Amino acid sequence: MGLNQTVQAYLNQAIQLRRDLHRIPEIGYSEMKTSEYICKFLDENGISYEKNIAKTGIIAKIEGNKIENGKTIAFRADMDALSLSEQNDIEFKSTHQGRMHGCGHDGHMTMLLLLAKHLMAHKNELNSDVVLIFQPAEEGPGGAKPMIDTGFLDKYQIDEVFGIHLHPDFNTGVIAVNKGPVMAMTGEFDFDIYTKSGHGAMPHTANDATIVMSQMISQFQSIVSRNVNPTEAGVVTVGRIEAGERRNIIAEHVRLEGTTRAFSEEVYNLIQTRMLEVAKGLELSFNCKIESEIRTMYPPVVNHASSVDAIREACKDMEVVDFPPQMIAEDFSFFLKERKGAFIFLGIRDEDNGFDKPLHNSKFNFDEEALLYGLQCYINLLNLYGSNI
């Protein structure tokens, strides 16, 4: 459904590209082999590019015919893998110990490489300039902003930017897209509580850091329910606690680590402010010292309405669905703060063939045929904007 014969003919190359990239997963800013592989492919297809953007990133440009009101459209793929040991029993398993493409970035790069090949084969019918962004370090610490800070969006006069992410919650070939906030703003927090230690049999001589910790967690969990408008959404999660030395020693130091998320910067900032106020109040109440560090990571992913309308129109012969906003995060958000565009989920779920594992799972896998739907989506979008490729 929705795939033309020209796109279907790319299946064998999609398999080869994806599996080649899957074998050489590399974490953020270390994507040396991956970058070399992409550059080799671009060279073989006569495509000009800049490399070493934000360390390992690549920007390629394919010029279309100069037409009145022509646009420059950018497409982005992330390059990095996860620090994860692959458990798949497959011929193209990761060759890098403790590294795995468990989030589909090998598929994202494959779709862009196939698009590049297709554009070069139909260059005479291309009426938009197209920029292909191969971005490092999406999984962390975030390569989008360092790439943007080089000024390339202005240099290449980019009007609109799109990205696709594989998603196993949707069946193979489904295009999932929505207007407005679709992914959360995210940050990390660390709180260190310092008190006075003592023997467990003489608690009156000590000041128990675990008591302060329990009060802190309890009050953190009331921030969203009692401070955030119920029509909004936010998350405070304490994911790690480090406390104590022995069972009969009252702890003098506790460390809390966690994450905060929200769909708006206003709610996100409110949560952070209240957390610091809670810590200050506990210092006074328990006569202790609390040190805090809060790191804001990515802003929310906010899709532009006109770009979503364009995707829906371009892909009207495909299966396009809405989806509820998700509290996961993506640094594609930085692109959408600077330019119009949209972030799209592409379904890869196929339970009958065992392709149903979640993202960031050591057995994550997918059928490469799903990538052709992403390629078709990109081609349809360019045709909507005036090309005939």
Q: Count Cα neighbours of 28 within 13 Å in the Cβ-side half-sphere.
A: 11
180 φψ region: left (φ > 0), alpha (ψ -120 to 50), beta (else):
left
- Inter-residue contact 16 to 85 (CB < 8 Å): no
- The residue type found at 345 is F
Report residue 54 CA to chain centroid gap: 17
Calculate the alpha carbon distances from 181 to 167, 176, 377 in Å. 17, 14, 21
Please report where in the chains the tokens 């793929």 appear, as a residue: 77
The answer for residues whose C-beta is within 8 angstroms of residue 58's C-beta and 6 or more apart is 35, 38, 39, 42, 49, 50, 51, 132, 133, 134
Task: Report how far residue 121's alpha carbon sits from residue 117's, in angstroms, rounded to the nearest whole number.
Answer: 6
Q: Is 159 a catalytic residue?
A: no
Task: Report how far residue 161's alpha carbon sits from residue 154's, in angstroms, rounded to the nearest whole number.
Answer: 13
Task: Give the active site residue among 26, 78, 160, 330.
Answer: 78
Q: Is 309 a catalytic residue?
A: no
The answer for residues whose C-beta is within 8 angstroms of residue 56's C-beta and 6 or more apart is 29, 30, 31, 32, 34, 35, 79, 136
Task: Give the active site residue among 26, 106, 138, 139.
Answer: 139
**What is the secondary structure of 8-25 as a DSSP string?**
HTTHHHHHHHHHHHHTS-
Catalytic residues: 78, 139
